[in-house]
């Protein structure tokens, strides 16, 4: 998963209320250069959305976000999710992911949580909520101790600070919801989503080549 994130250093965090829009959204993101997509489990349509993308957008590497329990993790992998992202660190979710051989990126915000994740064998972690938890300076501090861990900061990441996050060696990728604005999804303005994805890709290429 670490290698995949470094190749696709911006991960759209997508909230989908209507599963019928899932495939057009995914196609728009892939067209803009972002193929690793996280659909959050915050809506009733999320599982159907993931299943549709998994079946119909072969160039997308689709995952599930906001996975809160082991039961939910098992169900969403059955629907087609190829990786799992959680807002926090929960042994049950990690256990199910390991049993199913599916990569998991749990959320952490403190040194204690990073240490717990490290001792579970996890080396790619979501730093969440990045803006409120100390942002760039906190990642630097954590990385100085946990030198084999890489982070995916999410929460408060935007085009204004994306470059600064991606310049950190300990950041594998950044997660962001700005790439799929709710109003663009509602209006079916998929060209706008493609443009936002392409802008993020351009920033990433400037930083990492």
The answer to pTM > 0.75 is yes
Q: Which residue has the higher pLDDT, 3 or 53?
A: 53
Residue 7 a catalytic site member: no
Q: Alpha-carbon distance 202 to 147, whole Å?
A: 28
Assigned token pair, 185: 């999804």
Active site annotation includes 195? no
pLDDT digits (tens, 9 = 90+) for 27-73: 999 999 999 999 999 999 999 999 999 999 999 999 999 999 999 99
What are the structure tokens assigned to 79, written together? 């629907």
Which residue among the candidates 21, 126, 137, 187 is catalytic per the annotation?
Answer: 126
Determine which one of 38, 137, 199, 205 is catalytic. Answer: 38
Strands 107-108, 124-127: pairing is parallel
Q: Where are the domains of the chain?
A: 2-208
Which token pair is 122? 């996890």
> For position 3, what pLDDT does the model report?
85
Distance CA 82, CA 79 (A): 9
Percent of the chain residues past pLDDT 90, beyond the cut: 96
In this prediction, residues 84-104 reach a mean pLDDT of 98
Give the model's pLDDT for residue 1. Answer: 85
- Between CA 186 and CA 30 the distance in angstroms is 19
Assign domain 2-208 one CATH number from 1.10.340.30, 3.40.640.10, 3.40.50.720, 3.20.20.70.
Answer: 3.20.20.70
Instruction: List pLDDT tens digits, range 74-83.
Output: 999 999 999 9
Cβ atoms of 189 and 26 closer than 8 Å: no
């Amino acid at each position: 998963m670490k290698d995949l994130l470094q190749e696709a250093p911006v991960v759209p965090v997508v909230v989908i209320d209507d599963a019928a829009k899932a495939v057009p959204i995914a196609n728009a993101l892939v067209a803009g250069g972002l193929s690793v997509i996280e659909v959050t489990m915050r809506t009733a349509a999320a599982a159907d959305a993931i299943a549709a993308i998994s079946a119909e957008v072969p160039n997308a590497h689709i995952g599930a976000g906001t996975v809160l329990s082991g039961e939910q993790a098992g169900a969403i992998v059955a629907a087609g999710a190829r990786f799992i992202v959680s807002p926090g660190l929960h042994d049950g979710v990690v256990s199910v992911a390991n049993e199913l051989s599916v990569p998991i990126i749990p959320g952490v915000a403190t040194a204690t949580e990073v240490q717990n994740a490290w001792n579970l064998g996890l080396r790619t972690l979501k730093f969440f909520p990045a803006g409120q938890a100390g942002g760039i300076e906190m990642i630097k501090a954590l990385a100085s101790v946990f030198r084999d861990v890489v982070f995916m900061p999410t929460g408060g990441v935007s085009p204004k600070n994306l470059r600064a996050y991606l310049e950190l060696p300990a950041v594998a990728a950044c997660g962001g919801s700005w790439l799929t604005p709710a109003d663009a999804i509602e209006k079916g303005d998929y060209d706008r989503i493609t443009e936002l994805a392409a802008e993020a890709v351009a920033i990433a290429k400037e930083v990492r080549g």
